[in-house]
Amino acid sequence: MTKQEFAQALRGKLAGIPQADIEERISYCCERIDGRVQDGLSEEAAVAEIGPVDLVAEQMMSEIPLSTLVRQKVAPTRRHGAARIVLLIIGFPIWFPLLVAALAVAFSFYIAFWAVAIALYAADLGLLIGVIAALFAAGMQFATGNPAGGGFFAGAALILAGLMILLFIVCMAFSGGLVRLLGAAVMGIKKLFVGKEPEIVDNGRKGASNEA
């Protein structure tokens, strides 16, 4: 793939992002390609080093705030036209409550998942307190000449410490999964606003080609 083909494909993937942002990012990629060509790579190898177009486009989308994409999509332009705006206004009593309900459900699930994560961390903190208490009790038992009791509490402290470490690993994995899930959800929403623009067909040219 040449630099020009890469830039053209990237523009198609980023359609829906403000034009200034598209050109700024494509210009940066082209500068990187030119730099690698100056270092001795072929243009195709330099483009391949940048990465697949889909991956580059997804990385660029992750850097664009969702609010910017929404404003860009709903801004009144020639592509929307007055008829679409009128339809949005007329259908407002239908689509707006549905949108609010969908957002409320999504937010409820998000809060519920984080509530579970907080509960797991609280349980882990309880185990830590148990470890400290068991160690303190073991020390007291040894100090009062009761090695059997001291050994019992020391063993309990070790068991609680092991459980605490395991639960901490679970907590980290769970919260990390939530963060990744949120990132995937945001990226999915962004992809609804960003995509290849419909191809504009020149009817006159198409008719001429059919006649030929």
Which tens digits make up the pLDDT trace of 126-167?
999 999 999 999 999 999 989 999 999 999 999 999 999 999
Q: Which residues contact 11 (CB under 8 A, 6 or more apart)?
A: 22, 26
| Mean pLDDT, the chain, integer | 79
With a pLDDT cut of 70, the percent of the chain lying above it is 78
Q: In whole angstroms, what is the distance from residue 160 CA to residue 158 CA?
A: 5
pLDDT in tens, 19-73: 787 888 888 888 888 888 888 888 888 888 888 888 888 888 777 776 666 666 6
* Virtual torsion, Cα 97, 100, 106, 110, nearest 10 deg: -150
Q: Write out the DSSP string of 101-132.
A: HHHHHHHHHHHHHHHHHHHHHHHHHHHHHHHH
Q: In whole angstroms, what is the distance from residue 73 CA to residue 102 CA?
A: 20
- Residue pair 50/33 in contact (Cβ under 8 Å)? The answer is yes
- pLDDT mean over 96-112: 83
Q: In whole angstroms, what is the distance from residue 175 CA to residue 5 CA?
A: 41
Q: In whole angstroms, what is the distance from residue 29 CA to residue 3 CA?
A: 9
With a pLDDT cut of 90, the percent of the chain lying above it is 25
Q: Which residues contact 187 (CB under 8 A, 6 or more apart)?
A: 58, 61, 62
Q: Write out the DSSP string of 37-102.
A: HHTT--HHHHHHHH--HHHHHHHHHHHS-HHHHHHHHHS--TTTHHHHHHHHHHTHHHHHHHHHHH
Q: In whole angstroms, what is the distance from residue 37 CA to residue 30 CA?
A: 10
- Residue pair 1/47 in contact (Cβ under 8 Å)? The answer is yes
Q: Is the pTM of this model over 0.85?
A: no
Token couple for 160 = 């609680």
Q: In whole angstroms, what is the distance from residue 13 CA to residue 185 CA?
A: 19
pLDDT top residue among 29 and 99 = 29
